[in-house]
Amino acid sequence: MRIEPTMNDMTQTPEMLIAAMCARARAAGAILAQASDEQKVRALMLAAQALREATPAICAANARDMENAAANGLSPAMLDRLRLDEARIESTAAGVEQVARLTNPLGEIIEETVRPNGMTLQRVRVPLGTIGIIYESRPNVTADAAALCLRAGNAAILRGGSEAVESNRAIHAAMAQGIGSAGLPVDAVQLVPTTDRAAVGALLRAAGMIDLIVPRGGKSLVARVQEEARVPVLAHLDGINHSYVHSSADPDMARALVVNAKMRRTGICGATETVLIDTGFPDAASIVKALIEAGCAVRGDAAVCALDPRVSPASDEDWDTEYLDAIVSIAMVDGLDDALAHIAAHASHHTDAIIAEDAPAAERFLNAVDSAIVMWNASTQFADGGEFGLGAEIGISTGRLHARGPVALEGLTTYKWVVRGTGQTRP
Amino acid sequence: MRIEPTMNDMTQTPEMLIAAMCARARAAGAILAQASDEQKVRALMLAAQALREATPAICAANARDMENAAANGLSPAMLDRLRLDEARIESTAAGVEQVARLTNPLGEIIEETVRPNGMTLQRVRVPLGTIGIIYESRPNVTADAAALCLRAGNAAILRGGSEAVESNRAIHAAMAQGIGSAGLPVDAVQLVPTTDRAAVGALLRAAGMIDLIVPRGGKSLVARVQEEARVPVLAHLDGINHSYVHSSADPDMARALVVNAKMRRTGICGATETVLIDTGFPDAASIVKALIEAGCAVRGDAAVCALDPRVSPASDEDWDTEYLDAIVSIAMVDGLDDALAHIAAHASHHTDAIIAEDAPAAERFLNAVDSAIVMWNASTQFADGGEFGLGAEIGISTGRLHARGPVALEGLTTYKWVVRGTGQTRP
């Protein structure tokens, strides 16, 4: 039995710690599931207020994290993600209030039937259960994820990055204060008290005790979670997204969409990484030119290299690379079937778009491409829960079960069958 | 590298075999997903016809299985499950036709919105992908499961029990004939060609290649699948179901419901295994008596033992036991809260019922019990996809993600987001 010196109780293994937290989460979840929506909304409004009031304490905790992180040589990008200030805390509090304003997902009657024997059947939306969130760097996830889980009636177990431990504790304390003040169990949102990596392993193996794990962070975190988890995981590893310029595309629209899809923000998962241009599209060179002029490095196949001397040759790997940077790979394709074959071979099933005036071609694309999000004449950068009108999202899933694409409150619920009879026995 | 002598190709490992089958399934699934519903319906009608025409060949194959099974000392119950005759083959063919008559689940627009920028968003129901079915004994599953998967646009990989290998091959050949005659890819339904148990392990570990595994069989099979699987599993291990007789229950209705819930068929997963009788219910003895007179062995707590000398004392284990037999455990509980606590501690989250005239008490029970199916004044024996009006079911799930309770065609689908714009770029 390993002794973990970072634990509260020195005799606890990570497995014992997680099992105890899961048991408390289950008990809190049972209370949450029966609590009124008004009470949950009130808890979130009070939590937002507590966050604002705790701003000095959160900033002080964050300063300690920043100091350690700088001493540990974290990259400037990581430091920026970690950093909190008054504006960021205000934005986090406002985010919690936004979740409080979303439509209550619980209690919805998804389906209702009356059987020939008079029994009525309803499928009713209920909380999913206990949700584990494993995240890195950005301490605001402590509040965002907790708020979404709570509003959907779920207990949350949060495991933030070791670099943000002080900030997460301060934010968690404010959330717990709001939840407790509203008369809900503070165990509804628990923060794993140790930075021991073994606790992550214990969370990932807590089958039957945790209903869903959502990793929020870089690729190595998501890959580890997907590899090790013995509980269901909601995530996407890659966003290798395509924008396909069909021969019928309007040249001006195609140029504007491709530049926006690639360059608006290159670091988000909805950014286009590969552009496919139909050999029948008359204006390929202008698309390449527009991307280069927008500051994008272009890697192309032989045909694309021939269009502009500034294009460098793409390697085989480029077609399977999520750059998350101002780099794009471009291939010429010979018609819709060729585009579909390229996408089937290389897409990560996140978001893929066609730009076309030919409606039947576009509908064929929308039907045939097997991705969480398919688009016609729109920028792949719209792949986002907020842009889809879902309010805050817990993440985007490229998995096929339960929830696909942007996942918001509804994805954090399940249903049960409610049968009401008048004494019916089965013949 | 292990050499499997039972493989078609002597150099193939089980992993290579399963990977090759999964690749063929993906290719077939892509075609199925684009095929019209009419074509799938036609494939199922032709498959039913092929099953009927193959009756002599299927019976002959089954006779060889039965001979081997008898030589291997299979139990009479197992032999009965394995046995096929003309009537059972006709019933299997009729089941395939029934699936052909269900409503097409694909293409349904689950949700549709127009964003302020004019983009339209639809969530559209699409096939789930590749589904693995691992089953035992009953060869009719080869046809039932294949039909459900196919109608929902999914490719199926079937792995039947070694005792039914010849029967399964004969049934599979008929299904393949129907599918091929309708112009659909025969790889849409593949049967694992080896009885090597390592092939099951390879299926369970085929993450990314198989989207869902459905085990159909006894507890040891389901337990192994749930334990080993690295792909999502849809199943239930136990049906430890409760019928709670509230103090307000109508005595005649309570007696009739409890006897039906326990004794109509004791071997199905919806059978009641534990009866909870409220101390405020005036007629507990008559319920105990009715069960005993219906041929049920009653194990009770001290209070129940005191009601009837024929009751034997229940052990702690009894409250966690799925008898699947004419045995019941009965406890007296002190009010609704006590009943809810017993159910929370012992239920397998399958089906639990309250018998009550007091509507607020019943509604509290329906709300508070966290099971896939909750019932008021109805027999737990109704826990069945057919009885719920879903048509054929692939199984009943006590998991919380994706699909819960009886799972039919809709549970074998997922959705994608379809976005249609007119050139919108994200600001």
| pLDDT value, residue A86 | 97
Residue B7's pLDDT band, with cuts at 50, 70 and 90, is: very low
**DSSP-assigned beta bridge partners for residue B353:** B243, B375
| Cβ pair B374:A418 closer than 8 A | yes
* Both structure tokens of A57: 């304490």
Of the listed ranges A147-156, A221-230, A332-341, the least confidently predicted one is: A221-230
Query: How many Å lie between the alpha carbon of A56 and the closest alpha carbon of chain B?
Result: 34
| pLDDT value, residue B103 | 95
Among chain B residues, the shortest Cα distance to A369 is held by B30
Q: Is the pLDDT of residue B425 over 90?
A: yes
Query: How many Å lie between the alpha carbon of B51 and the closest alpha carbon of chain A?
Result: 30
| Cβ pair A373:B426 closer than 8 A | no
> What is d(CA A213, CA A191) in angstroms, rounded to the nearest whole number?
14
Residue B278's pLDDT band, with cuts at 50, 70 and 90, is: very high
Q: Is the pLDDT of residue A11 over 90?
A: no
CA terminus-to-terminus distance, chain B: 55
Which residue from A70, A98, A97, A71 is spatially nearest to A83, judged by alpha carbons? A70
Is the ipTM here above 0.90? yes
- Exposure letters B125-135 (e unless 16+ CB within 10 A, then b): bbbbbbbbbbb
Report the phi/psi class of residue B26: left, alpha or beta, with left for phi > 0 and alpha for psi in -120 to 50.
alpha
| pLDDT value, residue A237 | 87
List the alpha helices (DSSP H) in A327-399: 336-346, 359-368
pLDDT (mean) for B393-406: 93
| pLDDT value, residue B332 | 98
Which residue from B297, B221, B288 is spatially nearest to B266, judged by alpha carbons? B297
For residue B113, the chain A residues in CB contact (below 8 A) are 388-389
For residue B419, the chain A residues in CB contact (below 8 A) are 373-376, 378, 382
For residue A368, the chain B residues in CB contact (below 8 A) are 30, 33-34
**DSSP-assigned beta bridge partners for residue B417:** A373, B123
The rounded percent of chain A whose pLDDT value lies above 90 is 89
| Cβ pair B264:A425 closer than 8 A | yes
- Residue B416 CB: number of other CB atoms within 10 A? 21
Closest CB to B367: pick one of A34, A401, A414.
A34
Residue A131's pLDDT band, with cuts at 50, 70 and 90, is: very high
pLDDT (mean) for A1-24: 73
Q: Is the pLDDT of residue B100 over 50?
A: yes
For residue B232, the chain A residues in CB contact (below 8 A) are 232, 401
* Both structure tokens of A103: 């439509």
Can you tell me which residue has the tokens 């809900």? A184
For residue A33, the chain B residues in CB contact (below 8 A) are 368, 370
| Cβ pair A414:B405 closer than 8 A | no
Among chain A residues, the shortest Cα distance to B263 is held by A426
B297-300/B312-313 β-pairing? parallel
| pLDDT value, residue A8 | 52
For A42, A100, A420, A423, B375, the CA distances from A34, given in Å and listed in that order, are 15, 18, 20, 27, 18
Among chain B residues, the shortest Cα distance to A384 is held by B426
Q: Choosing among B337, B369, B397, B416, which should be mutated to test the A contact, i.e. which has the most A CBs within 10 A?
A: B416
Compute and round to an integer the Cα radius of gyration of chain A: 24
Give me the torsion for CA of B50, B51, B57, B62, rounded to 10°. 160
Give me the torsion for CA of B317, B320, B326, B331, rounded to 10°. 80
pLDDT (mean) for A291-297: 98
Is-contact B195 B134, C-beta < 8 A?
Answer: no
Query: How many Å lie between the alpha carbon of B34 and the closest alpha carbon of chain A?
Result: 7
Q: Is the pLDDT of residue A214 over 70?
A: yes
For residue B389, the chain A residues in CB contact (below 8 A) are 113, 115, 121
Average pLDDT, chain A: 94
| pLDDT value, residue A105 | 95
Closest CB to A401: pick one of B232, B405, B421.
B232
Q: pLDDT of A237-286, one tens digit each?
A: 889 999 999 999 999 999 999 999 999 999 999 999 999 999 999 999 99
Query: How many Å lie between the alpha carbon of B53 and the closest alpha carbon of chain A?
Result: 33
Closest CB to A419: pick one of B119, B375, B423.
B375
For residue A128, the chain B residues in CB contact (below 8 A) are 400-401
Q: Is the pLDDT of residue B4 over 80?
A: no
Query: How many Å lie between the alpha carbon of A163 and the closest alpha carbon of chain B?
Result: 31
| pLDDT value, residue B186 | 97
For A11, B75, B137, B158, B193, the CA distances from B65, given in Å and listed in that order, are 56, 14, 10, 18, 16
| pLDDT value, residue B195 | 87
| pLDDT value, residue A4 | 41
List the alpha helices (DSSP H) in B54-85: 55-71, 76-82
Query: How many Å lie between the alpha carbon of A118 and the closest alpha carbon of chain B?
Result: 10
Q: pLDDT of A310-361, one tens digit each?
A: 999 999 999 999 999 999 999 999 999 999 999 999 999 999 999 999 999 9
Among chain A residues, the shortest Cα distance to B384 is held by A426
> What is d(CA B141, CA A272) in angstroms, rounded to the nearest whole number?
44
| pLDDT value, residue B9 | 55
Q: pLDDT of B125-171, one tens digit each?
A: 999 999 999 998 799 999 999 999 999 999 999 999 999 999 999 99
Q: Choosing among A357, A400, A407, A418, which should be mutated to test the B contact, i.e. which has the most B CBs within 10 A?
A: A400
Closest CB to A421: pick one of B115, B371, B376.
B376
Q: pLDDT of A173-189, one tens digit each?
A: 999 999 999 999 999 99
Residue A137's pLDDT band, with cuts at 50, 70 and 90, is: confident
For residue B212, the chain A residues in CB contact (below 8 A) are 401
**AA identity, residue A302:** A
List the alpha helices (DSSP H) in A280-358: 284-293, 302-305, 336-346
Query: How many Å lie between the alpha carbon of B148 and the closest alpha carbon of chain A?
Result: 17
Q: What angle do CA B98, B374, A108 make, to 5 degrees?
A: 85
**Residue-level length of chain B:** 427
Contacts of B106 (CB under 8 A, 6+ apart): B37, B125, B126, B127, B152, B153, B413
Q: Choosing among B31, B417, B422, which should be mutated to test the A contact, i.e. which has the most A CBs within 10 A?
A: B417
For A279, A288, A311, B236, the CA distances from A328, given in Å and listed in that order, are 18, 10, 10, 47
| pLDDT value, residue B353 | 98
For residue B223, the chain A residues in CB contact (below 8 A) are none
For residue A212, the chain B residues in CB contact (below 8 A) are 401
The enclosing H or E element of B227 equals: helix B219-228
Order of strands across the sheet that contains B272-278: A109-114, A120-127, A413-424, B373-378, B351-355, B241-245, B272-278, B327-333, B297-300, B312-313
| Cβ pair A121:B388 closer than 8 A | yes
Residue B77's pLDDT band, with cuts at 50, 70 and 90, is: confident
| Cβ pair A382:B344 closer than 8 A | no
Can you tell me which residue has the tokens 């639990």? B352
Can you tell me which residue has the tokens 């379809």? B418
Contacts of B133 (CB under 8 A, 6+ apart): B141, B145, B149, B156, B157, B158, B159, B213, B214, B215, B216, B394
Between A354 and B220, the more confident residue is A354
Query: How many Å lie between the alpha carbon of A17 and the closest alpha carbon of chain B?
Result: 21
Average pLDDT, chain B: 94
> What is d(CA B395, CA B141) in angstroms, rounded to the nearest whole number?
11
> What is d(CA A212, CA A231) in angstroms, rounded to the nearest whole number?
6
Sketch out chain A's domains with CATH numbers: 14-234+408-417 (3.40.605.10), 241-387 (3.40.309.10)
pLDDT (mean) for B340-354: 97
Can you tell me which residue has the tokens 């197992």? B78
Is-contact A371 B416, C-beta < 8 A?
Answer: yes
